[in-house]
Structure 1
Amino acid sequence: MSGTWLPPEQYIATLPKATVYGCLFVTDEADQPIQLRAARNPDLWQWPGGNMDPGETPWQCALRECREETGLRLTVAPCLLAVHFLPPLGQWTTHKIGFIFDGGRLTRQQIDSIVLDPEEHTEVAVKPLDVWRKDISPQSFARLDAVARARRTGAACYLEQTTLP
């Protein structure tokens, strides 16, 4: 900007717009990532999560979306594993910023109790990282691997995506 002062409402109008999502990275007790197959795109595997509703924080969003998409009411404390930035891509015309939280390790009983919303997801899968590597796109695997590493090391990561998976 030129250094000219603008009233807040005018300045805000010049800034890029973004949507925000929150999601939970969950594994089984052996640290095998759990993902959900997207109903609208069967090649896409996702973590429980979605876009924030008005008045919600990313953490509240992640918990709500997990409950809506899986039926699970997780009671873990917020622990950020990654921030994910996406520029406008394809038909999505705004930036997108995601907060990926640690949803913990689920017991076999919890995994078996998952009830999917068929409008959102068609399948739950629990697989070791080396199997996920074969089953998802390289870009999706890079994100999965980085988030799994963040959980192992305790150091949150920053991810940028510049193309569609």
Structure 2
Amino acid sequence: MSAPASASSVVSVVCALIEREGRVFVAQRPPHKHLGGKWEFPGGKIEPGETPEAALVRECREELGCEVVPGERLPEAVHDYGTVVIRLIPFVARLAEPAIDPQSSEHAAVRWILPEEFASLDMPAADEPIVRAYRKRQ
């Protein structure tokens, strides 16, 4: 990865690896969006003055209609997409109410997968080191 042109071109983003019953929640980006069709972990941009944990809770509430409890923070991943550099801050998380299924109006599809199924998913390059770190801790 090359160094970003300026600090302002780096976008800090959080993502949640939501666990339930040995599975992890993933969502598929809509076809009309950047990286359309790729599977990702839910999350989004950190707002000014917001902690990564608070951003994770807010983004999951907004995107999935559910509350999550952030847990272990995994190593950050930085990826240069050419037009923007993403600083991805991942957390292992759980649902505050396990009986509630996350729903997303922002994604083409959602599903719960076993950790060994990550290899079969088409995921953004920025997520690859996160998957490796997650699998390594198991």
- TM-score w.r.t. structure 2 length? 0.75
Distance 1:62 1:130, change over 3 A: same
Distance 1:62 1:137, change over 3 A: closer
* 1:46 equivalent in structure 2: 40
CA distance in 2: counterparts of 1:138 and 1:50, whole angstroms: 14
> Alpha-carbon deviation of 1:109?
2.2
* Greater helix share, structure number: 1
Which residue identity lines up with residue 134 of structure 1 in the other structure? S
Question: Larger deviation: 39-48 or 129-138?
Answer: 129-138
Residues 80-95 of structure 1 aligned to structure 2 (within 5 Å): 80-87=73-80, 89-92=81-84, 95=85
Residue 34 of structure 1 pairs with residue 22 of structure 2: no
> Alpha-carbon deviation of 1:142?
5.1
* 1:66 equivalent in structure 2: 60
- List alignment gaps of at least 5 residues for structure 2: none
Task: For residue 14 of structure 2, give the secondary structure of its aligned residue in structure 1.
Answer: strand
Q: How many residues align?
A: 129
CA distance in 1: counterparts of 2:7 and 2:75, whole angstroms: 21
- List alignment gaps of at least 5 residues for structure 1: 1-13, 153-165
Residues 12-23 of structure 1 aligned to structure 2 (within 5 Å): 16-17=7-8, 18-23=10-15
* 2:103 equivalent in structure 1: 115
Percent identity reads 21
Distance 1:106 1:148, change over 3 A: farther
Deviations 1:84-134 (A, max 9, x none): 1123x2332xx32121111126876223xx221x2x212111122333312
Deviations 1:66-85 (A, max 9, x none): 111111112x2543112111
Task: For residue 82 of structure 1, give the secondary structure of its aligned residue in structure 2.
Answer: coil
Bigger-Rg structure (1/2): 1
Residue 55 of structure 1 pairs with residue 49 of structure 2: yes
Task: Name which of 70, 90, 108 aligns with 1:100.
Answer: 90
> Alpha-carbon deviation of 1:63?
0.9
Does the CA-based 8 Å contact 2:74-2:130 persist in structure 1? Answer: no
Deviations 1:22-72 (A, max 9, x none): 121112212x22101112244211112011112212111111111111111
